[in-house]
Amino acid sequence: MRLAVVAGPPSAGKTAVVRQTIRSLLDRHRIAYLKIDVVRAFEDEELAAEFGIPARKVCSGDLCPDHAGVMVMRDAVAWAEGEGADLLLVESAGLCLRCSPYTTQGLGIVVLSAVSGTNTPLKMAAMLALADIAVVTRIDLVSQAEKEVFRERIREVNPDLDIVETNAVQGTGMRYLLRAIEEYPQITDPDTIVLRCAPPLGVCTVCIGKTEIGWQHHFGVVRRLEDADYLFRGD
């Protein structure tokens, strides 16, 4: 089975990219889909109804959604294999630009919108830097020069990133993403899949529901305003 993890900011077009991918690959693959979100999600029901594929969701509630994703990913691989799938698509909640839910043995796809601002790629750091392929959506809304400038910004963060430009509603340009998914190596041993880096997830005291403001009320990563310029850097 192959694994592809789709991440990207809210409203970037992740689900539209997933939908086109399923539509194009359905005739030659058995696809399973997992959506990770926070409060509510409907994509699993919509995609299951539209394509008749096994689909499910996890709502992380008060927990960081990418943390939730890490927790359930191993189970999800087993579930998809049990469903007879040969491709598992996992779509992240896309809340925090610092998140990077990509793993080894799976294709990392970042989705970003061409109309999201020239500096957006520079703000995305690990989500962009650790991906294998960037899908730039809403390409029909910008001119050639703007496309190229946006591309240049992505390359500043990750010069080797494969870039696919698409109007995901129409499906233009998707052929290169489909090829990348189909050519990516299969999972060799699900028990050895690890995250590509230690992402800034942190099950912090805020994540688990403490609402008091001020470091005095929290434990774990605690900083005062004076020394909080750059709050935390992982290993």
Partner 1 sequence: MDTSPTREITILPGRNRRGAPERFEAISIRPGDTISIVGPTGSGKSALINDIEVFARNDTATGRTVLVNGEFPPEEFVRDPAYKPVALITQNTRCLADLTVAEFLAMHVRSRKIADDGIVERTIALANEFTGEEIRAGARMTALSGGQTRSLLVADAVLIAAAPVLLLDEVENAGIFKERVIEVLRAGGKAVIFVTHDPLVSLLSARRIVMRDGGVERVIEPLDRENEALREALRLDGILRRMREEIRAGNLITGPVGA
- For residue 114, the Cα-to-chain-centroid distance in whole angstroms is 17
Kindly list the distances between the CA atom of residue 100 and the CA atoms of 56, 65, 224, in Å, as whole numbers in the listed order: 21, 11, 27
Residue 115 vs 125, nearer CB to partner 1? 115
Residue 134 vs 187, nearer CB to partner 1? 134
Q: Report the alpha-carbon distance of residue 48 to residue 118 in Å, rounded.
A: 35
36-55 residues near partner 1, rule: CB under 8 A: none
Q: Report the alpha-carbon distance of residue 47 to residue 62 in Å, rounded.
A: 25
Residue 145 vs 225, nearer CB to partner 1? 145
The size of the interface with partner 1 (CB under 8 A), counted in residues, is 30
73-132 residues near partner 1, rule: CB under 8 A: 115, 117-119
Which of 50, 148, 182, 212 is the binder for partner 1 (CB under 8 A)?
A: 148
Does 170 bind partner 1 (CB under 8 A)? Our answer is: yes
DSSP 8-state symbol, 99: -
Does 141 bind partner 1 (CB under 8 A)? Our answer is: yes
Residue 45 vs 152, nearer CB to partner 1? 152
Q: Report the alpha-carbon distance of residue 55 to residue 88 in Å, rounded.
A: 10
Torsions phi, psi for 93 (to 5 deg): -75, -30
Q: Report the alpha-carbon distance of residue 111 to residue 166 in Å, rounded.
A: 10
Does 147 bind partner 1 (CB under 8 A)? Our answer is: yes
Which residues of this protein are in contact with partner 1, per CB under 8 A? 115, 117-119, 140-153, 155, 163-165, 167, 170-176
